[in-house]
A and B are shown apart, each in its own frame.
Chain A
Amino acid sequence: DGGITQSPKYLFRKEGQNVTLSCEQNLNHDAMYWYRQDPGQGLRLIYYSQIVNDFQKGDIAEGYSVSREKKESFPLTVTSAQKNPTAFYLCASSSRGNTEAFFGQGTRLTVV
């Protein structure tokens, strides 16, 4: 089945550690996105990529890094510089000109 897969579903991080969230899609979409969701707030864009080997910062990129070495994959690294990383992270993808962005099931990251 075509879709977007995020892993893991739950992730725990110790203070000062970097962690990487996985996002894979087999929809042949050019564009991929990472959003952060906090309670009572809408989704905020962290990074997005419109093509392989290229990506742009979103509204809250500080403390995060991404790579886009393959069309299918857009991993997000939450670095120790991100002071408040506990949140629900959502990955999405879309094709050029398409009206719909497809979302993964999310990864809930908790700092312990």
Chain B
Amino acid sequence: GEDVEQSLFLSVREGDSSVINCTYTDSSSTYLYWYKQEPGAGLQLLTYIFSNMDMKQDQRLTVLLNKKDKHLSLRIADTQTGDSAIYFCAESMKGGYNKLIFGAGTRLAVHP
């Protein structure tokens, strides 16, 4: 079946790197996503990776994908207080449209 799991909380010091981890179960996933949600708001797409890639870097964000272990991670370099939010991992199934399966979200707290 389809299942995406994440740890619920992460606390880091400002300026350090944050690593948020996610595991998924469906090996037929085509895209894997990281979304950011600030309090009381909708979801904002941060980055995504196609399932045949191992790594993707976008400014302070690095996504690593281990297909063998079905493990996805998001690294945020030089974490700032503005990065405090909930981060959702999601996978989409094969097909033309984005029917997304979400994890429960990781709440990132950045402290001075």
Size category of the A interface is 20 to 34
Binds A, one of B12-20, B43-51, B77-85: B43-51
A41 at the interface (CB under 8 A from B): yes
Cβ of B97 and Cβ of A100 under 8 Å apart? no
Residues of A within 8 A of B103 (CB): 42
Cβ of B45 and Cβ of A42 under 8 Å apart? no
Q: Number of contacting residues on B, CB 8 A?
A: 23
Q: How far is the CA of A109 from the CA of B90 in the complex (A)?
A: 24
Contacts between chains A and B (CB distance < 8 A), count: 62
A43 at the interface (CB under 8 A from B): yes
Cβ of A105 and Cβ of B42 under 8 Å apart? yes
22 contacts between A and B (CB under 8 A): A4-B42, A6-B42, A31-B97, A33-B99, A42-B4, A42-B90, A42-B101, A42-B102, A42-B104, A42-B105, A43-B100, A44-B102, A50-B96, A90-B43, A96-B97, A97-B96, A98-B98, A103-B42, A103-B43, A104-B42, A105-B41, A106-B42
Interface of A, helix, strand, loop or mixed by DSSP: strand
B residues at A contact (CB < 8 Å): 4, 8, 31, 35, 40-45, 48, 88, 90, 96-105
Residues of B within 8 A of A97 (CB): 96
